Structure 1
Amino acid sequence: MTPTLPTVLIVDDEIRSQEALRRTLDEDFEVFTASSAADALAILEREFIQIVLSDQRMPGTSGVQLLREVRERWPDAVRIIISGYTDSEDIIAGINDGGIYQYLLKPWQPEQLLLTLRGAAEMHRLQRENQRLSLDLKVASPVLRQRVAGKKEASRRRFGADALLRAPDSPMNALCALVAKVADFDIPVLLTGESGTGKELLARALHYGSGRSEQAFVVENCGAVPDTLLESELFGARRGAFTGAHEDREGLFRQADNGSILLDEIGETSAAFQVKLLRVLQEGEVRPVGAARPVAVDVRVIAATNRDLEADVREGRFREDLYYRLAAITIAVPPLRDRRMDIPLIAQQYVDSAQQSLGRTFDPLGADVLACLQAYRWPGNVRELRNEVLRMIALSDGPRLAAAHLSPRVLRAAEDHQEPELQLLAGLDGDLKTRLEALEARIVKESLIRHRWNKTRAAAELGLSRVGLRSKLARYGLETG
């Protein structure tokens, strides 16, 4: 990326003088011009100006008056005055009170002008570096270092991959191991899976397991914000850029500078927005709405979607180049129905959390409740499971959470999710003795067929003697001679 030139604002009501100054400075500086103090303040509102070079004698507001206001509102800007009058009381006062860095006497010489402004640019750089070093020294103190390290470790325990609840045989184990492995590599990650599967939790694990964990982690649901507002929400906006923009908006990318941002439901964005996001990822800079210049940002982007983005790329609904920018690594999060072994742990965690927030005590979830929860398919995934637990808590009269308080759809699933043998018995006619005999006959016949009617092997499998097997064959009419 081309190095950024120092910025200088020339304020002079004489156009020819403006142009002479611009021509002298144009190669070494990014030059802005204004013909009045009001125009200068407007430019300072929307641009990052490092040096203000102002003529003293202008209609209305003098150069010294302007630079005093600049000092109040933009104290980091280096202020220089140009005048043809060395004995001006205003100029002397401006220098004495520290508001003006230097003044140039007319007629100025190009070499002297360049030398002065290069010194001003270096002074601005040193001021910013000194501010940064002062902050670093504060953070480097032993007490603060210990505090920061403790906070970082607490965040890792709370949000890291190891904090995600899962059973020893859960498919989430391999997924969490992958998250822990790639967290410290500063590459974009795409999380895919149904809504409510815990993609945001994994995104937090990626952030808090990385070197950016001490910086901000911000989240934006791209599907919940109208496309017209999404750009200003993420990239920022200048005051007055559109109706309702009454003040500068920093934007989430700048809030997440040196940290991470989760762009949830990225598949819902428009083609126009995808072009702008691609530029941000390519250039490492955002352009606030209404701003003339972009602003550099250093952000790790994590994207999430419940759509099949590869299919959307093939069908032209999502840009292919943006997809590959976002999906350096793709992590597919399984739905809750594919990890039923995790349901008891997650459900019990919701109960424990409710105990703390409500100040009530509940018994551990019983086997009947867990059986019902594990039989259901959970189309709403973890969010739906949480709602069912809260429903039982709200309807309970005491510490015991009863299966009867689950939603009818969950109870119906439990009734339908019977063991195959029980389903078979339920479909047979007659009393219990008759049904059991019919089931036994089926089991004996299946064993004989499996062993090609070898009675010795079938009897051994069924735990019967040959005489016992012959008796059952005769009883159920299965003897073939």
Structure 2
Amino acid sequence: MGEKATILALDDEPRSLETLGRILEDDFNVLTATTTGEAEAILAREWVQVILCDQRMPGMTGVEFLKRVRALWPDVVRIILSGYTEPSDIIQGINEAGIYQYLTKPWHPDQLILTINNAVRLFHLQRQSDLLALEMKVATSTLETRTSKRREALKRTFRYDSLVRTADSPLNATVDQVQRVAPFDISVLITGESGSGKELIARALHYNSLRADGPFVAENCGALPDQLLESELFGHKRGAFTGAVEDRVGLFEQADGGTVFLDEIGDISPAFQVKLLRVLQEGEIRPLGSNQRRRVDIRVIAATNRDLETEVRAGRYRDDLYYRLATTSIRVPPLRERRMDIPTLARALLEQAIEQHGKRVRGFTDEALECMQAYHWPGNVRELQNEVQCMLVMGSRDLLGAELLSPRILQAIPGDEGWDEPEPGLEPGAGTLKERLDSLEARILREALIRNRWNKSKTARELGLSRVGLRSKLERHGLEKIQPLKTRRRAGGNGD
């Protein structure tokens, strides 16, 4: 057992207090008072859990005094002891005083001890409940504060001017369109290649709209079969299909009051197109296995890397669904159409990678950025992000050089649009055999030179050539002329 509970006994008869003290002293810390003034002084300085008060005292009844105690020390559990007044005569006063128990004299010692023990437990339960309520209030307040701060941070992150680009970027037209469309509660279809940043545009639309304080949920529609997709979006009831062991709330219901982003919407089946169209038309969902419909208030933003107008003309996509999704369309240009953004975007992605991995570097060499700008980036921003992370992880110098780039990127020559296509020289009609082999050889030579930091001795050894043979090939392909001296010095290679 822990520390004894403190009991205050108030009675104007000293002999009654002596009796109470003898009975209770083994189980409790007993304090006594013969007047209400003494009792108040004790309550003011001691931590009392239970008060035993006689009903009939001079000047003030026990119930009247305990009303005062309730007002000043509400946590103390109050018990009335009396042998002169029936409970029915003072029942209203007992309620007003919040009295826990009424015991009539003569009381049995075991009964009194049991009553006090229960009163002590009640005291501690009340304190635990009050503490829990306070903790819940603080936790709720903290959660609301954190949620509010997170929402404001998201709004800052996805504001219009946060999309990384240069002053003359083709992305500016897209951002201008986002700024015009975002405040209006209409559906939007975002088109663009995979990895070009369609979800960023969707988030910008949401966090700059009137629904910014509501949830934003996203689903890749091309990754799931119809039944699972229907369950993900609209929910299901337990037993609706094999594996449905409990009810599930769908994303449409979770996003009530906010935005649903449906990525790869061009990949859904004709059967699911019908179901989705019905939901968009009626604004109601019906979970799998349920007969009840639920109304939802959402804004739908969809995205696709397909040409849905062509799909509609070919009869592979419902025209009514297309027009329901595409109240307005926004095109995100691929990275190869905004090469001027690549250095700025690469630096921004590097800062993110530095924060994520905790590895500090100063940035990229100019040569590395030139190689990045020359490449066609079929995977768009996502591919660039992966490349930047790999360079950071593999780099051992303060500046990340071009030698850290993947071979496919190094084989793209700055300023030569002909070096911009994948697998150069292998496509049909690319020229004679000799011309195609020369094209491949030039790319291999340049990639090896950059990877070896323009050290011709290392490059010759790697390619199994003599220094004279390497120099002859470089001169034949014009590669001696493409390396500026400042790049050579910055890369740390020697020209020999």
Q: TM-score, normalised by structure 2?
A: 0.54
For residue 129 of structure 1, what is the aligned residue in structure 2? none
For residue 290 of structure 2, what is the aligned residue in structure 1? 291
- Assess if the C-alpha contact under 8 Å between 1:262 and 1:301 holds in 2: yes
- Pair 1:197 & 2:196 matched: yes
For residue 183 of structure 1, what is the aligned residue in structure 2? 182
- CA–CA separation in structure 2 for the residues paired with 1:372 and 1:279: 49
- CA–CA separation in structure 2 for the residues paired with 1:294 and 1:220: 21
- Pair 1:364 & 2:363 matched: yes
1:148-174 alpha-carbon deviations (Å, 9 max, x no partner):
775544322112222111101101112
- Pair 1:388 & 2:375 matched: no
For residue 313 of structure 2, what is the aligned residue in structure 1? 314
Q: Aligned-pair distance for 1:412? A: 0.6
Structure 1 counterpart of 2:167, one-letter code = P
Structure 1 counterpart of 2:404, one-letter code = H
For residue 376 of structure 1, what is the aligned residue in structure 2? 375
Map 1:74-473; keep pairs closer than 5 Å.
151-414=150-413, 417=416
- CA–CA separation in structure 1 for the residues paired with 2:399 and 2:309: 47
1:72-114 alpha-carbon deviations (Å, 9 max, x no partner):
xxxxxxxxxxxxxxxxxxxxxxxxxxxxxxxxxxxxxxxxxxx
Report the number of matched residues. Answer: 287
- Assess if the C-alpha contact under 8 Å between 2:285 and 2:293 holds in 1: yes
For residue 18 of structure 1, what is the aligned residue in structure 2? none
Q: Aligned-pair distance for 1:233? A: 0.9
- CA–CA separation in structure 1 for the residues paired with 2:193 and 2:142: 44
In structure 1, list runs of 5 or more residues that go unmatched.
1-137, 421-425, 436-481
1:419-465 alpha-carbon deviations (Å, 9 max, x no partner):
99xxxxx9xx9x99xx9xxxxxxxxxxxxxxxxxxxxxxxxxxxxxx
- CA–CA separation in structure 2 for the residues paired with 1:418 and 1:192: 26
In structure 2, list runs of 5 or more residues that go unmatched.
1-136, 420-441, 443-471, 479-496
- CA–CA separation in structure 1 for the residues paired with 2:170 and 2:415: 25
Q: Aligned-pair distance for 1:405? A: 1.3
Q: Aligned-pair distance for 1:389? A: 1.1
- Assess if the C-alpha contact under 8 Å between 1:362 and 1:399 holds in 2: yes
- CA–CA separation in structure 1 for the residues paired with 2:345 and 2:210: 29
Map 1:56-67; keep pairs closer than 5 Å.
none
Residue 414 of structure 1: SS of its match in structure 2?
A: coil
Residue 381 of structure 2: SS of its match in structure 1?
A: helix
1:338-360 alpha-carbon deviations (Å, 9 max, x no partner):
00111111111121122222222
1:122-164 alpha-carbon deviations (Å, 9 max, x no partner):
xxxxxxxxxxxxxxxx9xx999999877554432211222211
- CA–CA separation in structure 2 for the residues paired with 1:322 and 1:357: 40
For residue 9 of structure 2, what is the aligned residue in structure 1? none
- CA–CA separation in structure 2 for the residues paired with 1:338 and 1:290: 48
- CA–CA separation in structure 2 for the residues paired with 1:386 and 1:282: 39
CA gap 1:240/1:419 in 2 versus in 1, 3 angstroms: closer
CA gap 1:192/1:215 in 2 versus in 1, 3 angstroms: same
CA gap 1:419/1:287 in 2 versus in 1, 3 angstroms: closer
C-alpha RMSD of matched pairs (Å): 2.9
For residue 9 of structure 1, what is the aligned residue in structure 2? none
Q: TM-score, normalised by structure 1?
A: 0.56
Give the number of the structure whose alpha-carbon radius of gyration is greater: 2
- Assess if the C-alpha contact under 8 Å between 1:235 and 1:287 holds in 2: yes
- Assess if the C-alpha contact under 8 Å between 1:161 and 1:202 holds in 2: no
Residue 223 of structure 1: SS of its match in structure 2?
A: helix
Residue 351 of structure 1: SS of its match in structure 2?
A: helix
- CA–CA separation in structure 2 for the residues paired with 1:373 and 1:286: 47
- CA–CA separation in structure 2 for the residues paired with 1:419 and 1:147: 52
Structure 2 counterpart of 1:268, one-letter code = D
Q: Aligned-pair distance for 1:288? A: 0.4
Residue 273 of structure 1: SS of its match in structure 2?
A: helix
Q: Aligned-pair distance for 1:312? A: 0.3
Residue 220 of structure 1: SS of its match in structure 2?
A: strand
- CA–CA separation in structure 1 for the residues paired with 2:223 and 2:247: 22
Q: Aligned-pair distance for 1:394? A: 2.3
Q: Give the fraction of aligned pairs with identical amino acids, expressed as a percent.
A: 57
- CA–CA separation in structure 2 for the residues paired with 1:272 and 1:148: 39
Structure 1 counterpart of 2:213, one-letter code = E
Q: Aligned-pair distance for 1:390? A: 1.7
Q: Aligned-pair distance for 1:238? A: 0.5
Residue 214 of structure 1: SS of its match in structure 2?
A: coil
- CA–CA separation in structure 1 for the residues paired with 2:232 and 2:262: 12
Structure 2 counterpart of 1:193, one-letter code = G
- Assess if the C-alpha contact under 8 Å between 2:233 and 2:251 holds in 1: yes
CA gap 1:173/1:238 in 2 versus in 1, 3 angstroms: same
Residue 228 of structure 1: SS of its match in structure 2?
A: helix
Q: Aligned-pair distance for 1:387? A: 1.6
- CA–CA separation in structure 2 for the residues paired with 1:340 and 1:317: 34
